[in-house]
A and B are shown apart, each in its own frame.
Chain A
C-alpha cells in the first residue's frame, strides 16, 4: 500500500502542476498545446516497449508491438506537427 500512496501522491501533485502550467497558455496557442500534450500522452510508448521487449509470450509481444507502433505515431507525429505549427507563429516588426 505504501507504493500506492507514493504514486498517488505523485499523480495528484502532477495534476496541480498541470493545471498551474496550462492555465498560463494563451488561447492563441491552444491548438499547439493540444497537439503537443497529445505527443506527451504518447508516453504510453514506454509501457509498450516494456511489454514488447520482455518476450513473455507471443501474445504480449504482438500486443506490445502494435502498441509501440500506435504510440510512436502519437509521439513522432505529435511533436512534429506541433513544431510545424509553432514555427508559423511569427511577429512582424
Chain B
C-alpha cells in the first residue's frame, strides 16, 4: 500500500513539473515527456498492486485504445486539432462514467455501507462524465462539419435545460440513497447525456474556442470526481490540475471576446439590435489594391506585421505567408505576427498553425505586446481575420463585439486587408477598418493573393 501511494505521489509531482515545463517553448517538449513519465509510473504501480488479479482484459483494452490514440495523434492535421482535443476530452468523460458505474455495481454486490463520500462522488462522476462525453461529441461534430456550426436556438430553450438539470440532479440524488442505486445511476448518466447535447448545441460560430476550453475543464472535474470515488490521490490531483487549466483557459477566451460565461452558455439574453448598415460605412470609401502596389509598399517598409485569422488556415495560405516573411527578412525588414487570443478554433491554435510552417516562435506576438507597436509599423497585412480588427469593438455598446479587445491595426501607416469580399465575420457586422484612409483591400482568395504577392515582391526592383 505504501509503495503504490509513493508511486502516486511521484506521478503527481511529475505532472506538476510537466505542466511547469510548458511555461516556455524551450522547455515544453521535456515538460510533456515528464508528464508522460508520470503517467507511466502511475499505471505500472497500479498494475503491480495485488488487487489486480487479471491482466488479459486490461491488456485488450489498453492495446486497442493505445493503437487508436496513436493513429489519431499521428494522422491528425494541425487545423483539425480542436476537434481531436474535443473527442479526447469526451473519451476521458466516458471513462469516468464507466469506472464509477463499475465500482458502484461492485460495491452493491459486496454489500455494507459504502459511505456518503463514495456515493456522492459516484453520482457526480456519472453526471459530469456524461455531460462531458456528449458535449464533446457535439463539439466534435460541429468542428468537423457534421453538425451545423451555427448556434441552434429554439423557444423555451432555457426552461428545457433547467428542467433537465433538475432531473439529472434528482437522479443523482436517488443514486446516493441507501447502499447506492445502480438504475438511478445510469438514469443520471442518461439525463446528463441529453443535457450535454443541449448545453453544447446552442453554442457555435465564434464561441467554439470557449466550448473546447470548458469541456477540458469538465473532463478534469470528471477525473477528480472518480478520484473521490476510489479515494485515489493521483486521480484527484490530476483532475484538479486539468480542471484548473480548463477553467483558466475558459476565462481567457471569455475575456478575449468580452463575454461572460453565463452569456455564452445561455446566450440570447439582451440580444443586440442591428442598426449598422454596411452601405453607410463602405459607400465609396473602400479602395481596392493590387499585389504590385502592395509589393511596392513592402519594398519601402521597415516593419511589417501579419495579422492572421482562421481564414488564412482555411485557404491554406500559411506557406506563401512564410515565404513572403523570409523574402522580407532577407531585405532587412522586421516581420512579426500579431495573434489575437481567439484567432483559430481553440486557445493558441493559430500559433500551432504558424509553428508548423516553421515560423520562428519569437515572432509570434500576443495581442497586448504587439498593440503598442502598430504606431511604428509601416504595413500591416490582415489575412483571414475580421472581427478581431474591427474598430467598432471600441464603442462601449451597440454591437455584438462592443468592448472586445482588438488588435489596433488601424494605427499602422498602411493596412492591407486580404479578403474575398466585404462579407462580415462571425459577428455579422460591417467593419469600418475596410473604409479607412490608410486601408487598402486586396480582394482575392487568401492563398492566391499571397502567392501573387510573393511573385510581385520578387519582381519589384
B38's nearest neighbour on chain A, judged by CB, is A40
B351 contacts A by Cβ under 8 Å: yes
Q: Select A38's contact among B26, B61, B219, B355, beta carbons within 8 Å.
A: B219
B85 contacts A by Cβ under 8 Å: yes
Residues of chain B within 8 A of A15, CB atoms compared:
240, 243-244
Please measure, in the bound complex, the distance between the C-alpha atom of A85 and the C-alpha atom of B248, giving whole angstroms: 21
Within 8 A of A (CB), among B49-105: 49, 51-55, 57-58, 60-62, 64-66, 68-70, 72-74, 76, 78, 81, 84-85, 88-89, 91-92, 94-96, 98-99, 101-103, 105
Task: Report whether over half of chain A's contact residues are helix, strand or loop; otherwise say mixed.
Answer: helix
- Which size class do A's interface residues fall under? 35 or more
- Which size class do B's interface residues fall under? 35 or more
B32's nearest neighbour on chain A, judged by CB, is A82
Residues of chain B within 8 A of A76, CB atoms compared:
65-66, 69-70, 73
B23's nearest neighbour on chain A, judged by CB, is A24
Residues of chain B within 8 A of A87, CB atoms compared:
29
Contacting pair A63 B101 (CB below 8 A): yes
Please measure, in the bound complex, the distance between the C-alpha atom of A90 and the C-alpha atom of B364, giving whole angstroms: 11
Residues of chain A within 8 A of B333, CB atoms compared:
none
Contacting pair A42 B348 (CB below 8 A): no
Residues of chain B within 8 A of A32, CB atoms compared:
22, 28, 32, 348, 352
B341 contacts A by Cβ under 8 Å: yes
Q: Select A18's contact among B26, B70, B240, beta carbons within 8 Å.
A: B240
Given contacts A41-B239, A73-B68, A77-B72, is CB(A31)–CB(B95) below 8 Å?
Answer: no
Q: Select A86's contact among B29, B245, B249, beta carbons within 8 Å.
A: B29
B330 to chain A, nearest CB (A): 13
Contacting pair B69 A41 (CB below 8 A): no
Contacting pair B362 A91 (CB below 8 A): yes
Within 8 A of B (CB), among A44-74: 44-57, 59-61, 63-74
Q: Can you list 20 contacts pairing A with B, beta carbon distance less than 8 Å?
A: A22-B248, A27-B351, A28-B361, A31-B352, A41-B242, A47-B103, A47-B227, A49-B52, A51-B98, A53-B53, A54-B53, A64-B102, A68-B95, A69-B60, A71-B91, A74-B92, A83-B33, A83-B36, A84-B73, A89-B25
